[in-house]
Structure 1
Amino acid sequence: MSSSPIQKVALAGASGLLGTPMLHALLDAGFTVTVLTRHSSTATFPSSVAKVVHVNYEKLEDLTQALQGQDALVSTLTTFSISTQELLIDAAIAAGVKRFLPSEFGSDVSIPALRAMPMYKDKIEIDEYLRSRCAEQGVHMTWTAVYCSCFLDWGIDNKFYLNLQEKKCTLYDGGDFPTATSPTDWVGEAVVGVLRHADETANREVRVSGIDISQREILSIAQEVTGGAEGWTVTEASAQSTYDKSMEVFEKNPSNVWGWVMGMLVQGIFGKGFTRDFGGKTDNELLGLRRVKKEQVREYLERAVRTGKASKTF
C-alpha cells in the first residue's frame, strides 16, 4: 500500500446506531467525509460533511461513481445485507479506493467456534469475499477488520448486560471475568486510529477494547445509580446452555431473529473460549486509544436511567 496518508473517507450507513457516532469521530479528527445514503433517506447530516451522495446500493455503477477520489470506505451498514456489501466492495475496487473497513464491528469472528454460529454467517461471507477480492492480482485495495466486542451503550439499551428498568440481571458463568466492551462513540475513535495508522493496519484484523469489565462490576455500578441492591433480582445461567436454547429456537424458526440472536451473542461474548477480553491482547496502544474508565460506564448507566437510553445524542 502507498504510504500516502488517508484523508478522504466515504461512510456508508452514517445515520445508524454506529454510523452516527462514527461520522462525528471522523469529522472531529479532520477527515474529509463523504456520506453515502439511500435515495429514500430523509436523514440530515452536519454541515461539516464535505458531500452527501444519494446512491442506489443495488447498482454497481452508481456506487463506483460515488466513490471516485475517495481514499477509504467505512461501512456501518447491516451485515445481513450480503449483496449490498459485496457491491460496495466491487465498487470501491473499481473506483480505486485504497482501504475498506467492512461492518465487522463486534465479536471476534476469527474464532472457529464463533464462526460456526448461524448469526455470523452473513458477516463471514462478506469477510471472505472482501479478503479474496483484495488478494486478486492487480487489485490495490487493502482491508481492515475491526473487532470491538459488544457495544456498551447498545448492551445497556437492549438489556444484554442487565435490565435497568426492571432491575433484573442474569450473570453468565458467574459474571466475574472481564469482557471487552466498547461504546459506539469510542469505536469511532478506533476507526480514526486505523486510518491514521494505515500501513500498520493493512490486511489484518484489529482488536480493540474500550474497557475490560466484568458483568458483575457493571451490575454493581447499576445498583449504585438506581439506589442500591434492594429490589434487584439477580440470577445466574450458563452461557453454553443459553446458546443451546437459542439454537433450538433458530432450528424451529430462523425468522424469529430476536428469539435466538441474544443467546448466540451471550455465548460469543461471555462463553469460555470465545471473545471475552481478546485474551488481554488488543491494538489499543498501536492506535493511540484512550481507555474508557469505570466512571464513564457509570455515566452511560446514569444516562439510561435518566433518559431511557444509554447512547449519546449527537
Structure 2
Amino acid sequence: MSYSMSTKLSRSSYTVVLVGATGGLGKEVANVFLSSYKPFFSRIIVTVRDTTTPAAKELAEQGAELVTISTVGAVASLTKAFEGVDAVVNLLGRAPDEFRDAVGEAAVKSGAKVYFPSEFGSDHRINDFPGWDDADWIFKGQHARKYRQLGAGRTKVISVYNGLFLEGLLGPWFGFDTAKFTYTSVGSPDAKTAVTAKADVGRALAELTLLSLNPETAVSVPNDVHIAGSNVSWRHIRDIVQKVRNELSVEPRGEIKVESVELAVYRENLKKEQLVEPRAGPLDHIKVLIGEGKMDFSKNNDELVNPGQSIWKWKTVEKFVREKGGQV
C-alpha cells in the first residue's frame, strides 16, 4: 500500500467534508468514503440543503454527519460548516459559479489543510481554444488559481483530472453506436483517452486526502494529479466490445466498424459555431482534445494513489462491458 495500514489507522482522527455528495459523482465518492475508508476518518461530513431528502437520509444511514447549509450568505454558512475540518472535497457539478467559489473561499477561511476543487475531467490547462474555450473550463482554471493564491501556505489545493467517466463513455454522444455497429472518432481512432470509473475517482480522492494530511507523505502529492483507470482508443474499445459480444453470443450479431471524421475540419466547424453561439457544455471540445492526444493520461499519478494496484484494482472498460452483458 502507499503506506502502512497501521499508519493510516493511527491518523484516523482526520475530518473530511464532502460538498455535492448527492450528485452523480458525489454519490459514488461518498459511498467509497463511507464504506472502505470510513475507519480512516473520525468524521465524514456531508453538506446538504435539506436533510429530509431520500439521498440525504441514505448518506446519514451510511454514517455521514449531515450539516445543513444555505445558498444565501453561502460563504458564512459554508465556513461554519467547515469548522475543524481537515479536508474539503468539492464534488459539485454545474452549480452556479458563485456557489463553487464560496466553497473554495470557505475552505481557506475555515483553515482546511487540503481542498479539492471540482475538476474530474480533462486537464483544461493545456487547451488551445483561444476565444472559444468552454466557459466552465475557464472558470475552473480561475477558481484553482484564485484559491491557491488565497490559501498559500495554509491550504493545499489539489486538482484531480481523470479523463472521461467510464459509466458515461459508451454512447452515441461519443460516437459509440453499437446498435448500428459503428464507432466514430474525431481524428484518429487510435488516439487514446483516459477513462476512470466514478468509484475509482472516490478511492483516489480518499488516498490523496490521507497522503496529503500525513506530514510524512504530504510532499509527494502534487498540486495537479492525473489518474486513469485505463487509457483506451476508439479502436481498442471496438475490439473489447466485439470480443465480449462474441463470447457472450449477444444478439443481434454483427461486426462493429470504426470510422473517423477529419479532426481539422471538425475543430474549425466547432470554432465557427462557438464564436457565434457558445454551446452548453464541452462535449465537442472533448472530442477535439481526444483527437489531439490531450486526453491521453498514460503519464499519470496512478502509482502514487494505488501503487501496483495493491490497494484496489482499477475498473477497466472490459470489466464494465462484461458487467453490462455486452449490451452497450
- Shorter-chain TM-score: what band? 0.7 to 0.9
Letter of the structure 2 residue corresponding to residue 77 of structure 1: L
Query: Which of 254, 261, 275 lines up with 1:237 in the alignment?
Result: 261
Does residue 106 of the first structure (1) align with residue 121 of the second (2)?
yes
* Unaligned residue ranges in structure 1 (runs of 5+): 309-314
Separation (CA, whole Å) in 2 of partners of 1:253 and 1:88: 30
SS of the residue 1:36 aligns to:
strand
Whether the aligned pair in 1 keeps the contact of 2:49 and 2:68 (CA below 8 Å) is: yes
Name the residue aligned to 2:37.
29
- Which is higher, the Rg of structure 1 or of structure 2? 2
* Shift, 1:76, TM fit: 0.9
Separation (CA, whole Å) in 1 of partners of 2:180 and 2:106: 47
Separation (CA, whole Å) in 2 of partners of 1:51 and 1:115: 44
* Shift, 1:166, TM fit: 4.2
Instruction: Return closer, same or farther for 1:233/1:213 CA change in 2, 3 Å cut-off.
Output: closer
Name the residue aligned to 1:311.
none
SS of the residue 2:68 aligns to:
strand
Name the residue aligned to 1:133.
150
Q: TM-score, normalization: structure 2?
A: 0.79
SS of the residue 1:156 aligns to:
coil
Letter of the structure 2 residue corresponding to residue 212 of structure 1: N
Separation (CA, whole Å) in 2 of partners of 1:51 and 1:158: 39
Separation (CA, whole Å) in 2 of partners of 1:275 and 1:293: 18
Name the residue aligned to 2:7.
none
* Shift, 1:224, TM fit: 3.2
* Shift, 1:34, TM fit: 0.7
Separation (CA, whole Å) in 2 of partners of 1:292 and 1:171: 28
Separation (CA, whole Å) in 2 of partners of 1:115 and 1:33: 41
Q: Provide Cα deviations, 1:266-298, integer angstroms capped at 9, x if missing partner.
A: 1223314x2323xx321111112538668x422
Q: Provide Cα deviations, 1:231-255, integer angstroms capped at 9, x if missing partner.
A: 645321233432332233323322x
Identity across the alignment (%): 23
Query: Which of 271, 280, 283 lines up with 1:257 in the alignment?
Result: 280
Does residue 78 of the first structure (1) align with residue 85 of the second (2)?
no
Whether the aligned pair in 1 keeps the contact of 2:195 and 2:231 (CA below 8 Å) is: yes
Does residue 171 of the first structure (1) align with residue 175 of the second (2)?
no
CA RMSD of aligned residues (A): 2.9
Separation (CA, whole Å) in 1 of partners of 2:220 and 2:172: 32
Does residue 123 of the first structure (1) align with residue 140 of the second (2)?
yes
Separation (CA, whole Å) in 2 of partners of 1:99 and 1:18: 20
Whether the aligned pair in 2 keeps the contact of 1:39 and 1:56 (CA below 8 Å) is: no
Whether the aligned pair in 1 keeps the contact of 2:45 and 2:64 (CA below 8 Å) is: yes
Name the residue aligned to 1:283.
301
Q: TM-score, normalization: structure 1?
A: 0.82
Instruction: Return closer, same or farther for 1:41/1:104 CA change in 2, 3 Å cut-off.
Output: farther
Instruction: Return closer, same or farther for 1:83/1:299 CA change in 2, 3 Å cut-off.
Output: same
* Unaligned residue ranges in structure 2 (runs of 5+): 1-9, 213-217
Query: Which of 53, 56, 66 lines up with 2:81 in the alignment?
Result: 66
- The 5-angstrom pairing of residues 173-252 of structure 1 reads 173-198=187-212, 199-200=218-219, 204-227=223-246, 230=254, 232=256, 234-252=258-276
Aligned residues: 295
Separation (CA, whole Å) in 1 of partners of 2:175 and 2:210: 32
